[in-house]
Every structure is written in structure tokens, then in C-alpha cells.
Amino acid sequence: MPVTQTVPAAARMFLSGNDAVARAVWEAGTRVAAAYPGTPSTEILEILSRYSGLHTEWSINEKVSMEVALGASMVGARAFCAMKHVGLNVASDALMTMTVTGTEGGLVIAVADDVGMSSSQNEQDSRYWGRFAHVPVLEPSDSQEAYAMTLAAFDLSERLKSPVILRLTTRICHVKGVVHTGERIEVEPKGFVKDPRHWVMVPGNAKPRLPTMFEREAAARAQAEVTPLNFQVDGSDRRIGFVTSGPTFMHVREAFPDAPVFKLGLSCPPPLESLRRFAATVDTVLVVEETEPLLETEMKAAGIACHGKDVLPRIGELAPDVLEPAVRRLRGEVVPEPEHVPAQQVFPRPPTMCVACPHLGVYYTLSQMRNVIISGDIGCYTLGAGHPWNALDTCISMGASMGTALGMDKGRGKADENKKIVAVIGDSTFMHMGMQGLLDITWNRGNVTVLLLDNRAVGMTGGQDNPGTGRDIHGEETTRVDFAKLCEALGVKKERIHVLDPYELPVLFKALREETKIEEPSVIITNRPCVLIDHYQPAKSYTVEEDRCTGCGNCVEVGCPAIHVTRRDKVVKASGKEVDLSFVRIETSACTGCGLCVQPCAPEAIVHADPVQSVQSVQFVRK
Amino acid sequence: MSKITNILVCGVGGQGVMTATEILAEAAISLGFDVKKTEVAGMSQRGGVVTSHLRFGDVVLSPQIAPGEADLLIGFESAEALRWSHMLRPDGVALVNSGRIVPPVVNLGLFDYPEDPVAQMRALGLTVHAFDASSLAIQLGNIRLGNTVMLGACADRLPFPAEVLRDAVLARFGTRKPQLVEANRGAFEAGRRAVGGEALAA
Ligand code: SF4
Ligand code: SF4
């Protein structure tokens, strides 16, 4: 069902940075917006999809989303794409040529850096891409600025005919603040102007464009010196003057309300002359930037003496409680112990998979296999690396499970001769970057068994649609990929492709055992939907018959959060071996009756809550 | 700059920590305060740790509450309240749901759940009001009423009248699920009474 929401007119709204960016993209008269979901940037496109008057889409990866935006810009429309930091690595190929062609309709790229790494595989500073691509970078420091700078970014893009990067961080994307908003303007696309020298980037056309790119950069630098996006806040305590970019401005103002601050909004290229003048008015300059010493290096190269990462941490956020002790030390003060209770040691509480998640069965089965190396990927199923399964050996980047598995297969020596190599990937990740890797496996005759976990959603980011779900960003029906046929087209033999129910553990186990024995590429596709999407149909819940439970703990190994251990015990077997027992209870209100935990329970102690019904049990044999 | 009120809400993914903070924020906004709210949450929906920071006052700059700066700590789960007790000002107040959510790592026997988290917090010298909000919510008919119960519990410890918060709670359900308004009104009052508050006139 298309979700078209009436959006309130000019108002004072309580918006997250993502909300604010979306609002401004819409107000700017943008006609095309594309993204691949990725925390912390996901909500921007979700919100935009509820506005009318523009095309919004989930693209299969960030590079495609950037290409879609560029196409729209070429016909003179305002265009937007959004991604998380690692997504810009994927899109960088398009970016590095887009900077040579330049743009027509305003084109803004929102990139959300996961400073502090709340949900990503690395912490990287996307501002470098601005330098690398000679593209201006804007850095808002709260929701109001995210809104205002998005609008400014479109203007700047059209003035310079350059894409503009809006660098966000988790602390912008997911912080809510009060924002004053406006109304949408309509911008009519100017129309495509055929000009191969501009748009066809063969060497003969690209070379003459390079000077244009550098002229544009010089214009941006001149802009940076005069734009109101870069400004100074005066302060009476001139011992330290701060140079800030992004959310660190707020942190600095909070921790040092009396200090002079130079606030960079348009931070690439940096306004070095203004910064030099600022430096002359204070005793010491401290550059506060997350995460790399980028401005610091640029300022030092320009001969402006400053401190930065010599006193501040290079990793994570620079919140007031991090800044304050560092600055005191820089001033030569003795930093007193904090006056609050110390942090208490409490057990870790990592995220878990959902109750009845179809991945539970997959990881339970994998955890029962011996002599396997399991190459993992990015998504909910990365949680399979945790307890109780411990069933992932690697995880690098979107789609990397395929190539990594092939590399392990080809590179292995005697020590790993008898190991089976399994690669695990989700449906969306497979389409994002995995297909190419699978093609490489088949083409190069890799001995890899691929588990393609099709749960019909981009699960990790909240269940967004993809070409495997057969629905678009508005929930409307569209083409649906047939994964079995796709894998066949990529070179996997038809008889080596199995579509299985991940709730049928014995079937899954048998298929995995057989396919890992066969020395050629095979794909096992699991076909149950994510429990958080609306296709999921819960069934009758289960309960544990206490007097039948032997405390073997097999069901706990499945990892369903609805199963709780009520009592532990130890018994000595006839063989003299001591065995740990765990007696369990099922949270009936949470159990959706998937039947996974029923299968490894030998004494058939897990029964339907009501009416009582016996269920066939299956014994698992450790290989 | 006038005083800023700092509220830290913590719990487990799925408990409604973020919704509760959002409602507190709406109450503060309705009074014209500048408000900032941020979550510190990894892959939190899935049973992980969730903390939500709420700051309001005339002007709010940083969205984050520094350790030892929270005026109020609202713990939706007892071990989580203990985990975040260092965020509370020494003279602040903690409102804690003594109910427990035991994670898989404890079920698997890899870690222990703390003996008595509330007692440990008190032993640190903190002021703690604890009650079993989860059981109370279940008695009231739905575990999901737990966050309204917790909001009721903090209603008399805010720098604005309890009615403002109650109205923000009811407004949220009034538009989305009118049939839940009465249940939430009851849950709000039950939470208030549980920590010694007076009943509000309907
Ligand atoms: S049947 Fe077992 S595994 Fe499935 S949801 Fe219920 S408790 Fe969890
Ligand atoms: S698998 Fe069956 S017997 Fe073993 S602990 Fe679970 S319920 Fe008890």
C-alpha cells in the first residue's frame, strides 16, 4: 500500500537529523532520491518516500543510487542520494567520474559516518572522499543545521555545478531537536543537453574537463572564506580557541562556553585564510574533529600552529566528557577524579536474533557441523557469530563472503585440506554485491557451499524491500527475482541448487552435509520470511512439560530468546563423566510456534501450549 | 544559561525506551523548551542495550548527558539501571523497574545476572525508587503498558506538572489507538502510585 502522508506546512517540528535532511530535500524541489538502506542513514529515504512530488527508490547498492541521482541531475533535475560511510566506498567509482563531468541539477550526497561504531564494521571519515574527489563537504552540527545545510547544499551544487557531500554522523542522524521548516519549491528540470564532451568520459573528453574541476575547487575555496556557514563565536577566555566541524561544535560550546570557536559548516575546501586570522586572536588553537586529523593536517600544512589529535582521542565521539579532561591537560591543569559513582560491571547484553528468526535454524545446524569454515556477511545473520552458535568465522563487507570463501578454498594448504567451506549471505546483500562473487566462484570452479538466506527483507535495517521481495519502497508490487534461476544463470548447476525451509532442521542438515561433500559450487536457498515483516504468520505456541524435560539443554542451543533456563544442575553419568543440565521454560507469550526448538528435544518435552499435542523429535548426530 | 534538565532512560531493545523518551520530549516541547534527544544504541532493537538521552532547557547544545550529570535515571530493567548508574548525579534520583530480562548469555551460563541490582545501586549511595513495573503492566492487562507505568512513576519528579506528561502520553495513543487511552491512563496512575505519587484528576 502506498504510504502518502500529508506533510504539515511551515512549522516548528521535533526532527531527527535524518528527518530534517529528508524534509529539506523535499522542500528543495528534488525530483529523484535513491539509497540503499544502511544505519545510520536509512531513515532519510524512508521518510522521503512518504512525500509526494518526487521519485524515491531503494537501489540495489550505493553505486547504483549515485548513478540514478546523476542521471536525474543530467536532465537538470534536483537529485539526492544517501548512504552510510561504507556505502560511499561502494559508490566511489561513480563519484570519482561524476566529479569530472560535474552536475547540472543540484546533486547532494548525504553520507552518514558511524562515529563510535554503533553498528558498522569500521569507523571511517568520509570527509576524505571530499578531498579525494575535489567535492565540497558540508558538516551540520544538529537537526536545524542538517535542514538548513541540505538546502544550502543544493544551491552550492548548482552554483558550482558540482556534487556536494553532506557529511552526517550518527549523532546528527539519530539526534532529535527542534527545527523550523518551510515549504516546498518546484524546480523545473532544464532538460538534457546533448554534449558528449561533457557527459561521455572517454580520455579525450575527460582530460579537457580536469581543469574545470580544479577551477571549481578554487571557487569553492573562495566561497568557504566568505560563506555564513563558516563563522566565529567570540569568547572571553582566549587561552584556547577551538576549530570545530560537525557535532563537535555543540560539544565544545557545552564544555567551554567562554572560549572562542571557529565553526566550520563548509569545511572542504577549508577557509585557511580565515582560520589563520582566527588563530592570531587566541593563545593556542585546538582542532576538534571526528575522527581523523584532517583539518589539523591541512592547517599545519598551511603553517597554522595547532593542537588536535595529540591531545584528543582519534577513536570515537568527542562529547563534552571526553573533551573536558583533554583540554584541561593541554592547559597544564591537574584533572581531578570524576565526582560520580564508578561504572559498574554488568554482564554484556549483545543484540540477539529474534524469537523464531529463520536464521536460528540455519546457525543451529551450522553449529552442529564439524570441519567447516564459515564465511559470513553483513546483515542480521552476522549475529550468528555470537552465542550460542559461534557459527561465523569471517565478516568483512557487503558481499565479501563470496570472494573470501573462494580465496580460502583456493589458498588452503594441508591444514585445511579436509575442511568444508561454507559462505552465508542474505538476499539483499546477495543482490547488493554478492552476485558478482558467486559468478567468480562458479567461473573459477570454487568448492564452496553457499547458504543464501532469503528472508524477503533487508532485515538488519528494519525490513526494507528489495528486488527479492517483489515490492518497491512504497510497498507496491513489482518484479520479483527468482533466486534459484538467478543462481543458475550465474553458473551454478541446477541440481546443486536447493530451496529449503530453514525450520526443517533435518532437511537442512542433510542438504548441507551432502552439498559440502560434493566438490563444486552449490547453493542452498532458505525461504522463510523475517519474523518482523508482515508476511510472517505466527503459529500455535509451545510450552515445556516439566516432568519430561531431562535438562539436556539442546533447545537452548537453538538460541531462541523465548527459551529461558529456570534451573541448572550437574549429574555424574555411569561413565563417570560430569554433565551440566539446564532445565527450561518457554515464554509462551513470546513463542510464535515455529517448531525449531521442538526438533532437537529427544524426550519430546516441548509440546503445544494448548491443546497438548505430541511432536516428532529428531536426533542430531554430530559429524 | 539556565539549568538544563537531563534524563537518561535505559533498558533493553524492544521495551519501548525510545517511545517513552519521545513522549517525555513531547511534553517538554509543549512547554516551549528547547529539547534534544539522542539514543545510544547499537543494533538495539534485537534485545541489546538501549539508552536514550533527553535534555531540555532554554538552550540545549550537546545532545549527550555526561557521566554523573543525569538528574533522573529511568531504568526499564534492573540490571540495565545498574549498568548506567554512573550516569546519575550523586544527588539524582533513579526510578527502576525491578523486573528482569535475562539475556541468552546468562541462560547459557556464560555470565551471571547480578544478585540484587537495586540493592547494589543503593549501596553506591544512590536514591532509588524501585517497583516491579513489568508485573504491574501484566496485571493491568498488557506488558506493553510497562513504559506508561514507568512514565507515571517519574511524573512527580519532573520540573513541570505531572498533567503535562500524562497528556502527552494520552495524546500519543489518542490519535493512534483511541481504545488504549483508558488503559494508559490507568497505567500512568498506577506507576505514580507505585512510587508514592498522588492521583491526578481525570
Ligand atoms: S517454537 Fe521454540 S524456537 Fe520457535 S518461537 Fe517457540 S520457543 Fe522459539
Ligand atoms: S531439549 Fe527438551 S529435554 Fe532438553 S532441555 Fe530442552 S526441553 Fe528439556
Please state, in angstroms and rounded to a whole number, the distance separating the CA atoms of residues A268 and A197.
28
Search chain B and give the residue with CA nearest A351: B48
Q: Give residue B198's pLDDT band: very low, low, confident or very high (50, 70, 90).
A: confident
* pLDDT number for residue A164: 98
Answer yes or no: is pLDDT of A81 > 80: yes
Closest ligand to residue A355's CA: 1
Q: Which among A176, A352, A565 is the nearest to B25, CB-wise? A: A176
For range A227-249, the mean pLDDT: 96
* pLDDT number for residue A121: 86
Q: Is B105 in Cβ contact with A565 (below 8 Å)?
A: no
Answer yes or no: is pLDDT of A620 > 60: no
Q: Is A589 in Cβ contact with B143 (below 8 Å)?
A: yes
Q: Give residue B127's pLDDT band: very low, low, confident or very high (50, 70, 90).
A: very high
What are A311's three cell numbers?
591531545
- Scan for cell 581531578, then name that residue: A336
Answer yes or no: is pLDDT of B189 > 70: yes
φ, ψ of residue A510 in degrees (nearest 5): -65, -45
Cα-to-centroid distance, A423 and ligand 1 (Å): 26
* pLDDT number for residue A123: 85
What are A195's three cell numbers?
554534449
For residue A84, give the nearest of A168, A172, A174 by alpha carbon: A168
Q: How far is A233 from chain B (nearest CA, A)?
A: 14
Are the C-beta atoms of A358 and A455 separated by less than 8 Å? yes
Q: Is the CB of A599 under 6 A from ligand 2?
A: no
Which residues of chain B lie closer than 8 angstroms to A14, CB-CB?
25-26, 29, 35
* pLDDT number for residue A4: 38
What are A539's three cell numbers?
503459529
Q: Specify which residues A608 forms β-bridges with.
A: A542
Span A50-59, pLDDT tens digits: 999 999 999 9
Please state, in angstroms and rounded to a whole number, the distance separating the CA atoms of residues A203 and A200.
9
- Scan for cell 570545530, then name that residue: A244
Please state, in angstroms and rounded to a whole number, the distance separating the CA atoms of residues A272 and A302.
7
Answer yes or no: is pLDDT of A602 > 60: yes
Cα-to-centroid distance, A570 and ligand 2 (Å): 15
Share of chain B above pLDDT 70, in %: 94
* pLDDT number for residue A421: 97
Search chain B and give the residue with CA nearest A562: B104
Search chain A and give the residue with CA nearest B4: A254
Are the C-beta atoms of A206 and A100 separated by less than 8 Å? yes
* pLDDT number for residue B46: 74
* pLDDT number for residue A8: 52
Asked which of A487-496, B45-54, B164-173 is least confident by mean pLDDT, the reply is B45-54
Please state, in angstroms and rounded to a whole number, the distance separating the CA atoms of residues A324 and A335.
9
Answer yes or no: is pLDDT of A439 > 70: yes
* pLDDT number for residue A6: 46
Q: Give residue A238's pLDDT band: very low, low, confident or very high (50, 70, 90).
A: very high
Which residues of chain A lie closer than 8 angstroms to B113, CB-CB?
347
Q: Which among B67, B88, B106 is the nearest to A338, CB-wise? A: B67
Cβ-based burial of B135 (10 A; exposed 0-12, middle 13-18, buried ≥19): middle
- Type of residue numbered B110: L
For range A591-607, the mean pLDDT: 95
Nearest CA residue ID for atom 1, ligand 2: A601
What are A522's three cell numbers?
552449490
Answer yes or no: is pLDDT of A127 > 50: yes
Answer yes or no: is pLDDT of A619 > 50: no
Q: Which among A178, A340, A565 is the nearest to B29, CB-wise? A: A178
Share of chain A above pLDDT 90, in %: 83
Residue with the bigger pLDDT between A575 and A149: it is A149
* pLDDT number for residue A5: 42
* pLDDT number for residue A92: 96
For range B85-99, the mean pLDDT: 96
For range A313-325, the mean pLDDT: 91
Give Cα A596 to chain centroid, integer Å.
Answer: 29
* pLDDT number for residue B42: 55
For range A541-551, the mean pLDDT: 95
Span A367-385, pLDDT tens digits: 999 999 999 999 999 999 9
Q: Give residue B1's pLDDT band: very low, low, confident or very high (50, 70, 90).
A: very low
Please state, in angstroms and rounded to a whole number, the distance separating the CA atoms of residues B80 and B114.
10
Span A386-430, pLDDT tens digits: 989 999 999 999 999 999 999 999 999 999 999 999 999 999 999
Span A20-35, pLDDT tens digits: 999 999 999 999 999 9
* pLDDT number for residue A462: 84
Answer yes or no: is pLDDT of A3 > 80: no
In DSSP notation, A215-245 reads HHHHHHHHHHHH-TTSEEE--S-TTEEEEEE
Are the C-beta atoms of A428 and A466 separated by less than 8 Å? yes
Residue with the bigger pLDDT between A365 and A5: it is A365
Span B31-61, pLDDT tens digits: 999 999 998 765 556 788 999 999 999 999 9
CB count in 10 Å sphere of residue A335: 11
Q: Read off the pTM.
A: 0.91
Q: Give residue B140's pLDDT band: very low, low, confident or very high (50, 70, 90).
A: very high
Mean pLDDT (chain A) is 92
Which residues of chain B lie closer than 8 angstroms to A319, CB-CB?
62, 64, 66
